Homo-oligomer: A and B are copies of this chain.
Amino acid sequence: MTSENLNRRWLLDSRPPGEPSPKNFRWSEDPVPKPGDGEVLVRTIYLSLDPYMRGRMREARSFTSPVALGDVMTGGAVGVVDASENPDFEVGDIVEGRSGWQDYAVLPADELRRIDPDTAPISTAIGVLGMPGMTAYFGLLEVGKPGPGETVLVSAASGAVGGLVGQIAKINGCRAVGIAGSDAKCGYIVDELGYDAAINRKTENVAAALEKHCPDGIDVYFDNVGGTILDAALVHINMRARIVICGMISEYNLVEPELARRPTRILLTRRARMQGMLVFDYRDRYPEGLRQMARWIDEGRVKYKEDIVDGLENAPSAFIGLLRGENFGKRLIRVSEDPTVT
């Protein structure tokens, strides 16, 4: 799919005020770059698409600087070393790094993580054994701090992060209730992932369904969506509940922020905590989290689902669809053939 001579790239061409459109991205075909001293040239195999990328398209700084207009869209990826000017990496090594939406990236060696293709499919390095997996693991365990018998509510519960949060909650002896956007997703999280109950946010009254499926209230709400679902969840939180603010996909495309009741009265009377979490804050502990997730996968206690779209050319539409909830599982782009699949 890649050309030996060209680096196909998606650049940010303009900033969308609301929902991104294909017009906001510009296709570019450039020479393949060469690694400098100590650097590595990586050919992209799988590109990760994640909701946080919408934030990078804004002008405002959020976690980090926005993508500049004319720059390649940012993104994590799994790739193969194509050329190396660093003794630690050899041509053919599988690595994970922040390649962006393009065929080739030159990256400093210390920003690459070596992936062993024998332990798991290499695509998992940007999924369950990568950023989304670590988000679920540290977000739930370190910020949510669920106790046995507690009720954990998860929104976007069939997504890359949410699908894992419910399973980790179950492993920790909790009741897991998920909110998702279709009957198929709801069936999947209950039947395949072991959620105790699922709420279809498109066909059910979420407030009434929360009342029904969280009869003992909510102790931990792992929030990936924000908006009115957060408002509804707040009503049902228990004393000393923990609300993990991990994402707010329902708000990313809003031109103007939505207004809502302040959550403070509920936080006060229930002595509850609402806390933002960013996975990179746990970077030093990734080895621990990755080891644990890999063990759970081996034991069959954690399952994951990938939603693979073929072809870099489809990245903008696949990303726009992700923001609409059209994905089913962790969405990624197969940019070039996976050499480890036989």
Contacts and interface: CB of A to CB of B under 8 A. Distances in A.
A269 B226 contact: no
B230 A264 contact: yes
Contact of A264 (B245, B265, B269): B245
A273 B271 contact: no
Interface string A224-244: 001000100000000000000
A335 to B, nearest CB: 29
Nearest to A248: B264
Interface in A238-282: 245-248, 251, 257-278, 281
A270 B263 CA distance: 18
A271 B275 contact: yes
A5 interface: no
A315 B266 CA distance: 29
Contacts of A272: 275-276
B273 A275 contact: yes
A340 interface: no
A265 B251 contact: yes
Contact of A257 (B248, B251, B265, B271): B265
A275 to B, nearest CB: 4
30 contacts: A63-B269, A223-B264, A226-B264, A226-B265, A230-B262, A245-B264, A245-B268, A248-B268, A251-B262, A257-B261, A258-B262, A259-B260, A259-B261, A260-B262, A263-B274, A264-B274, A266-B276, A268-B277, A269-B276, A270-B276, A271-B275, A271-B276, A271-B277, A271-B278, A272-B275, A272-B276, A273-B274, A273-B276, A274-B274, A274-B275
